[in-house]
Amino acid sequence: MKVYNTLSGKKEEFTPIEDGKVKMYVCGPTVYNLIHIGNARPMIVFDTVRRYMEHKGYEVNYVSNFTDVDDKIIKKANEEGTDPSVISERYIAECKKDMESLHVKPATTHPKATCEIGGMIEMIQTLLDKGHAYVAQDGTVYFKTRSFPGYGKLSHKNLDDLRSGGRSLLVSGEDQKEDPLDFVLWKPKKEGEPFWESPWCEGRPGWHIECSVMSKKYLGDEIDIHAGGEDLIFPHHENEIAQSEAANGKPFAKYWMHNGFLNIDNKKMSKSLGNFFTVRDIGEKYDLQILRFFMLSAHYRSPLNFSAELMEAAKNGLDRIVTCVSNLNFLLEKAGTEAMSAEEKELAAQAAELAKKFDEAMDDDFNTADAISAVFELVKFANTNANEGSSAAFLNALKDEIVTLTDICGLTVERSEEILDSEIESLIAERQEARKAKNFARADEIRDILTQKGIVLEDTREGVKWKRA
């Protein structure tokens, strides 16, 4: 399995630190709002990386944080006249709902920055003790960037270039820095902000130290994969490497993976341009599996353009797979239990060859675009070769290949609980009859059957209304 490593700028053979185990950290969102569809991209692509690794037999310890202390959270809390934790808890809960709709598996651990302050103070103290940090007069603690010889190795930047082009590096409080390249590890509290006690001043941590500490606590000093969007390469991940390696004295992450950006109609997504979509916005129009399918139809490192037409194309593409599986199920209902004929055995072997293309694509730096093309080839093959004369064993073999591969992509293409509108209507009519006859047990039973199939009933003055949940 080959993985593109931002650190080396090359595809490298993946060999985990510990045989059969993968330790993976993915930078999570800052929780002050509903997540947008750009935030959904790293969630979906790295969840797919995780699923594929699990499919290959690795045990994956997957950690993804929530940044729950930040200027934007504090600003929103002040606007609403509430505590920042009320805001962050609200949006963590909403984010988890969106992840579920996108079929993103919960991480092994979802640490929150505010619960890890003790570890941050400890790591900052280690950096001070080792001469990699210093305390300014106002109590701000800075990382001494030039004290870490490897600085710039991830973003392939050189310190002197950074210094000359350094305007963007100047952050608030820089007047007390010894060098414009230095960055904040701990900053003093301001009026109306949450703060914690520390040996240096009452204050709060800088953003970068959070991830170094949470990664160390939940995965150890050395991990296999550290991932996030490409905007995090510099300075966030560069700073994480400097902090972790300077404090722990060991290499931090073996592979650094970064997803490309999602744009809208070829423009950067922004609220001011009016082209900003939350996952929830898209969920009002589409089943969010379609958004997932859309994201995976491109390679994760490429920029990805979002548009209404491309979403429609993704909808049609996913429908083709769902329809194929539903046809196979229809044929299976009539097929009996006979074994495969010699000719079918030959065809099943051909289908297995097509399925191998999926693994080959995924082994090549998780090329989900080619992997999905392999699924489409299988669908075409099944549509051509499965028919009313097919044996159950053959139909099942085809179906299993498609379902296994789409499962790795986090897509559910078998809608076994599907219920037709006409079936719903007739069950509702039967329920009305049962109620008239005071057979409430049967009426309740019907409501339960419908609930199980995701149908919600509402008794109104005009009669019974229903919708799919």
Interaction site with Zn ion (CB under 5 A): 27, 211
Contact between 132 and 248 (Cβ < 8 Å): no
Binding positions for ligand AMP, 77-116, rule CB under 6 A? none
- The nearest distance, CB 145 to ligand AMP, in angstroms, is 22
Distance, CA of 119 to CA of 125 (rounded, Å): 10
- The nearest distance, CB 329 to ligand AMP, in angstroms, is 36
- The nearest distance, CB 149 to Zn ion, in angstroms, is 22
- Surface-to-core class of residue 49, CB atoms within 10 Å of its CB (0-12 exposed, 13-18 middle, 19+ buried): buried
- The nearest distance, CB 211 to Zn ion, in angstroms, is 3
CB nearer to ligand AMP: pick between 104 and 443? 104
Q: Cα separations (Å) of 346 from 335, 349, 358, 382, 409?
A: 19, 5, 20, 13, 27
Find residue 66's DSSP bridge partners: 112
CB nearer to ligand AMP: pick between 111 and 228? 228
CB nearer to Zn ion: pick between 66 and 306? 66
- The nearest distance, CB 305 to ligand AMP, in angstroms, is 11
41 touches ligand AMP by CB under 6 A: yes
232 touches ligand AMP by CB under 6 A: yes
Contact between 435 and 463 (Cβ < 8 Å): no
CB atoms within 10 A of CB 227: 25
- The nearest distance, CB 90 to ligand AMP, in angstroms, is 15
* Residue whose Cβ sits closest to ligand AMP: 229
What is the crossing angle of helices 71-80 and 84-101, to 10°?
Answer: 110
CB nearer to ligand AMP: pick between 298 and 443? 298
- Surface-to-core class of residue 372, CB atoms within 10 Å of its CB (0-12 exposed, 13-18 middle, 19+ buried): buried
State which of residues 42, 111, 317, 410 lies at the interface with ligand AMP (CB under 6 A): 42
What is the layout of strands, in order, in the sheet containing 203-205?
A: 133-135, 141-143, 183-188, 203-205
By a kind-dependent CB cut-off of 5 to 8 A, residue 39 interacts, out of Zn ion, ligand AMP, none, with: ligand AMP
**321's tokens:** 């797979």
Q: Of 333, 384, 327, 332, whose CA–CA distance to 354 is shortest?
A: 384
State which of residues 16, 23, 29, 401 lies at the interface with ligand AMP (CB under 6 A): 29
By a kind-dependent CB cut-off of 5 to 8 A, residue 42 interacts, out of ligand AMP, Zn ion, none, with: ligand AMP
229 touches ligand AMP by CB under 6 A: yes
First to last CA, the chain: 40
- The nearest distance, CB 112 to ligand AMP, in angstroms, is 14
- The nearest distance, CB 76 to ligand AMP, in angstroms, is 13
CB nearer to ligand AMP: pick between 277 and 376? 277
Residue carrying the six token digits 């809608």 = 415
State which of residues 195, 196, 234, 261 lies at the interface with ligand AMP (CB under 6 A): 261
Distance, CA of 214 to CA of 228 (rounded, Å): 15
Strands (E), 37-153: 59-64, 133-135, 141-143
By a kind-dependent CB cut-off of 5 to 8 A, residue 77 interacts, out of Zn ion, ligand AMP, none, with: none
Q: Which residues of this protein are in contact with ligand AMP, per CB under 6 A?
A: 27, 29-30, 38-39, 41-42, 228-229, 231-232, 259, 261-262, 269
